[in-house]
Structure 1
Amino acid sequence: MCPSCFQKDRSILFSNRAAARMKQDKKEMAISDCSKAIQLNPSYIRALLRRAELYESTDKLDEALEDYKSILEKDPSVHQAREACMRLPKQIEERNERLKEEMLGKLKDLGNLVLRPFGLSTENFQIKQDSSTGSYSINFVQNPNNNR
């Protein structure tokens, strides 16, 4: 084991082990090794870049973007980080929209489960968003099929 006084060397070793674990598809372990490398040497660009790539490949896009921004603060010439900082915000927004739609679908299913014993469904309720404030209003509709 490398003595703790050799922090930069230990950082490189953790980063190299992370690379090996990446090749073995042990992504969570590789992320952990990269984090240890960065903890030992916060300015180690290669470990930050490797962790950002791992975060991105495991769909942890917010964390990946943070790492890419940190890389650009330390070295603005890293093209891969610049490109990712332009690409990831759109991917994050798309992912969040997809998750929101999925969650709304699940809530609708739950609502239908609760309302069914009363002869109602979520179709009996219209949800409208006020574009100026972003708030929602819910209106009850007696016969939803007749109002379409």
Structure 2
Amino acid sequence: MKQDKTEAALSDCSKAVELDPNYIRALLRRAELYERTEKLDEALEDYKAVLEKDPSIHQAREACMQLPRQIEERNEKLKKEMLGKLKDLGNLVLRPFGLSTENFQIKQDSSTGSYSINFVQNPNNNR
């Protein structure tokens, strides 16, 4: 029920902004709703649009300083989750061959940013 109300409010705000792109209160409200529903990228866009129209709005200024860090933290968390799932999948595929993802070392070249993968026969002995 609460989510339905939030979605309806988001829709109303979007329609209001569509009709009048300079409607600051609608942009601000939509940014708050995006933030509440963890759509941080969209929230940041709206807060930036609010600041472009009225730089004196403290809430938008503060959000523009905090949201990039929150977005980065969320992205790092998602990246770790994804890598963990890929590792699990890799182990599932490698297990019948007596291998695991621990048998492969991935190193990034700091100058080029490219990666190299090396096979390690006994990964537990090399630690």
- How far apart are residue 133 of structure 1 and its match? 2.1
- How far apart are residue 140 of structure 1 and its match? 0.3
2:40 corresponds to 1:61: yes
Structure 2 unaligned residues grouped into runs of 5+: none
Structure 1 unaligned residues grouped into runs of 5+: 1-20
State the 4+ residue runs in structure 1 displaced beyond 4 angstroms.
none
Question: In structure 1, what is the Cα distance between the partners aligned to 2:70 and 2:122?
Answer: 40
Size of the aligned set, in residue pairs, is 126
Question: In structure 2, what is the Cα distance between the partners aligned to 1:136 and 1:28?
Answer: 43
Q: Percent identity?
A: 85
CA-based RMSD: 1.3
Report 1:1-148 matches (<5 A). Answer: 24-25=2-3, 26-148=5-127
Question: In structure 1, what is the Cα distance between the partners aligned to 2:61 and 2:49?
Answer: 11
TM-score scaled by structure 2? 0.95
- SS of the residue corresponding to residue 126 of structure 1 reads strand
- SS of the residue corresponding to residue 145 of structure 1 reads helix
Question: In structure 2, what is the Cα distance between the partners aligned to 1:34 and 1:132?
Answer: 47
**Structure richer in helix, relative to its length:** 2
What letter corresponds to residue 40 of structure 2 in structure 1? L
